[in-house]
Chains A and B, each alone.
Chain A
Amino acid sequence: MKPSTAYLALYNAAQACGWAAILVVLVIGVTQRETPEQLYDRAAPLTKLVQGAAILDTLHAAVGLVPSSPAMTLMFWVGRGNALFAITEPIAALHASWWAVLMLGAWAAAEVIRYPWYAAITLGACPGWLTWLRYTMFIPLFPLGTLAEMALMWTALPELQSRRLYSLGLPNPYNWAFDYHRFIQIVLLLYPLLWWQLYSSLLRARAKKLGGSKGGSSKGGSGEGSRPPAADILRQETRSKLLKTQ
Chain B
Amino acid sequence: MKLEVVSRSGRSIATLDVNPDSTVAELKKKFHGLKKTYYPARQRFALPVKAGETRGQVLSDDSKRLSDYGLAEGGKLEFKDLGPQIGYSTVFFWEYFGPLVVYPLFFFLPQYLYPHIKAPAGGTQHALVQKLACAYWCFHYAKRIVETFTVHKFGHATMPIFNLFKNCGYYWGYAAYVSYFVNHPLYTAPNQTVSVACLAAAVLAQLGNFWSHLILAGLRKPGEKEYRIPKGGLFNYVSCANYTFEIWGWLLYSVAVQSIPAYLFAATGAAQMTQWAIAKHNRLRKLFDGKDGRPKYPRRWIIFPPFL
Q: Which A residues contact B (CB, under 8 angstroms)?
A: 170-177
How far, in whole Å, are A171 and B187 apart by their CA atoms in the complex? 6
Give the residue name and chain of the B residue nearest to A172 (CB). B188
CB neighbours (8 Å) of B259 from chain A are 174-176
* B261 on the A face (CB < 8 A): yes
**Besides the known contacts A174-B259, A175-B188, 5 further A-B residue pairs in the complex with CB atoms under 8 A apart:** A171-B186, A172-B188, A174-B260, A176-B259, A176-B261
Within 8 A of A (CB), among B161-214: 181-182, 184, 186-188, 190
Give the residue name and chain of the A residue nearest to B257 (CB). A175
CB neighbours (8 Å) of A173 from chain B are 188, 190, 258
Please give me the 5 A-B residue pairs with the lowest Cβ-Cβ distance, nearest first.
A176-B260, A175-B259, A170-B186, A171-B186, A174-B260
What would be 11 A-B contacts, judged by CB atoms less than 8 Å apart?
Answer: A171-B186, A171-B187, A171-B188, A173-B190, A175-B184, A175-B188, A175-B257, A175-B258, A175-B261, A176-B259, A176-B261
Say how far A137's CB is from chain B's closest CB, in angstroms: 32
**Is the contact region of chain B dominated by helix, strand, or loop, or is it mixed?**
loop
How far, in whole Å, are A132 and B142 apart by their CA atoms in the complex? 57
Selected contact of A177 from candidates B181, B182, B190, B258, CB within 8 Å: B181
How far, in whole Å, are A176 and B177 apart by their CA atoms in the complex? 10
Contacting pair A174 B186 (CB below 8 A)? no
Give the residue name and chain of the B residue nearest to A178 (CB). B260
Say how far A171's CB is from chain B's closest CB, in angstroms: 4
CB neighbours (8 Å) of A174 from chain B are 258-260
CB neighbours (8 Å) of A171 from chain B are 186-188
How far, in whole Å, are A206 and B190 apart by their CA atoms in the complex? 54
CB neighbours (8 Å) of B181 from chain A are 175-177
**Is the contact region of chain A dominated by helix, strand, or loop, or is it mixed?**
loop
Give the residue name and chain of the A residue nearest to B182 (CB). A175
Say how far A237's CB is from chain B's closest CB, in angstroms: 13
CB neighbours (8 Å) of A172 from chain B are 188
CB neighbours (8 Å) of B188 from chain A are 171-173, 175
How far, in whole Å, are A175 and B182 apart by their CA atoms in the complex? 7
CB neighbours (8 Å) of A170 from chain B are 184, 186-187
Q: How would residues 233 to 276 of chain B score, 1 for a CB under 8 Å from any chain A CB and 0 otherwise?
A: 00000000000000000000000011111000000000000000
Say how far A70's CB is from chain B's closest CB, in angstroms: 12
Q: How would residues 259 to 297 of chain B score, 1 for a CB under 8 Å from any chain A CB and 0 otherwise?
A: 111000000000000000000000000000000000000
Say how far A179's CB is from chain B's closest CB, in angstroms: 13
Give the residue name and chain of the B residue nearest to A170 (CB). B186
CB neighbours (8 Å) of B184 from chain A are 170, 175
CB neighbours (8 Å) of B187 from chain A are 170-171, 175
Say how far B63's CB is from chain A's closest CB, in angstroms: 36
Give the residue name and chain of the A residue nearest to B117 (CB). A170
How far, in whole Å, are A121 and B184 apart by their CA atoms in the complex? 54
How far, in whole Å, are A123 and B187 apart by their CA atoms in the complex? 57
Select the residue from B187, B258, B259, B260 with max chain A CB neighbours within 10 A: B260
Say how far B77's CB is from chain A's closest CB, in angstroms: 28
CB neighbours (8 Å) of B190 from chain A are 173
Say how far A155's CB is from chain B's closest CB, in angstroms: 28
Give the residue name and chain of the A residue nearest to B181 (CB). A175
Say how far A203's CB is from chain B's closest CB, in angstroms: 21
CB neighbours (8 Å) of A175 from chain B are 181-182, 184, 187-188, 257-261
How far, in whole Å, are A201 and B182 apart by their CA atoms in the complex? 40
How far, in whole Å, are A172 and B257 apart by their CA atoms in the complex? 13
How far, in whole Å, are A74 and B182 apart by their CA atoms in the complex? 30
Give the residue name and chain of the B residue nearest to A173 (CB). B188
How far, in whole Å, are A23 and B259 apart by their CA atoms in the complex? 45
